[in-house]
């Protein structure tokens, strides 16, 4: 079972997503346990302060190291997993990809995701606590809670049994290095637009060939950068 703990100042941002769709089903089926925690619970002063002004001046606030270290140590002890990986969601991190998500899914255990806010976290958290930084893209969010949910979803859906049909993930965009082929469903004709005849033929080998060609064409037109890697 994969156990994911998200540390954030805004757990309610995460709770809705973690309790819906495949993430909910993954927990009901015993494949994952997903929780969002309010970092303020580990602050020790009466006002539950988790941030302070940066040394050296500058804009914004920085998340303090004390509550983060205390939270990670507490959650690690509660789960008692042999291996806990601490991930900080950061623009400076390794870019999230299908391969990265697959790597995490294949090593299911205990993940603690630290969601930054303001100007980020005290550097000592990164230097002495975090195992890896992950970025979900070259843009900045208001806080890392959304990024933590994105990472969680990308990982959990790749755990065998979560999607019901494990072949579903194998055909996803990026799983084969290409974008996914086009999909069609009923009605066979809609506003004069018909489903391609090949999909109605019943010839599975020809359908597979068509889908491969369509995936390659779509990738060439829309994401040619993906073709830089060997297929």
Q: Which residues are the active-site residues? A: 91, 119, 157, 172
Peptide bond between residue 116 and the one before it cis (omega within 30 degrees of 0) = no
- Residue 18 half-sphere exposure toward CB, CA atoms < 13 A: 23
- Return the closest-CA partner of residue 93 out of 130, 64, 62: 130
Q: How far is CA 70 from CA 21, 162, 218, 224, in A?
A: 32, 32, 48, 45
**φ, ψ (nearest 5 deg) of residue 104:** -70, -40
DSSP letter assigned to residue 121: B
Helix (H, G, I), strand (E, B) or coil at 129: coil
Q: Is 188 exposed, middle or buried (0-12, 13-18, 19+ CB in 10 A)?
A: exposed
DSSP SS3 for 76: helix
Beta strands 110-115 and 84-95: pairing type? parallel
Q: How many CB atoms lie within 10 A of CB 219?
A: 22
| CA-only gyration radius of the chain, Å | 21
């Amino acid at each position: 079972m994969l156990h994911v703990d998200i540390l954030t100042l805004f757990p309610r941002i995460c709770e809705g997503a973690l309790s819906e769709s495949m993430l909910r089903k993954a927990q009901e089926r015993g494949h994952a346990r997903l929780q969002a925690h309010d970092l303020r619970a580990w602050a020790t002063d009466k006002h539950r302060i988790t941030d302070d002004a940066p040394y050296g001046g500058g804009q914004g606030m920085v998340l303090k190291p004390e509550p983060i270290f205390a939270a990670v140590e507490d959650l690690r002890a509660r789960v008692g997993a042999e291996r806990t990986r601490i991930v900080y969601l950061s623009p400076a991190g390794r870019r999230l990809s299908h391969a990265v998500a697959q790597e995490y899914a294949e090593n299911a255990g205990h993940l603690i995701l630290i969601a930054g806010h303001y100007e980020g976290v005290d550097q000592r958290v990164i230097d002495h606590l975090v195992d890896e930084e992950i970025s979900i893209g070259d843009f900045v969010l208001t806080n890392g809670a959304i990024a933590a949910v994105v990472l969680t979803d990308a990982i959990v859906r790749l755990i065998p049994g979560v999607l019901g049909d494990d072949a579903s993930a194998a055909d996803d965009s990026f799983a084969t290095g290409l974008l996914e082929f086009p999909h069609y469903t009923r009605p066979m004709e809609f506003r004069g637009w018909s489903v391609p005849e090949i999909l109605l033929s019943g010839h599975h080998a020809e359908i597979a060939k068509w889908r491969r060609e369509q995936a390659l064409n779509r990738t060439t037109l829309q994401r040619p950068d993906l073709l830089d890697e060997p297929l």
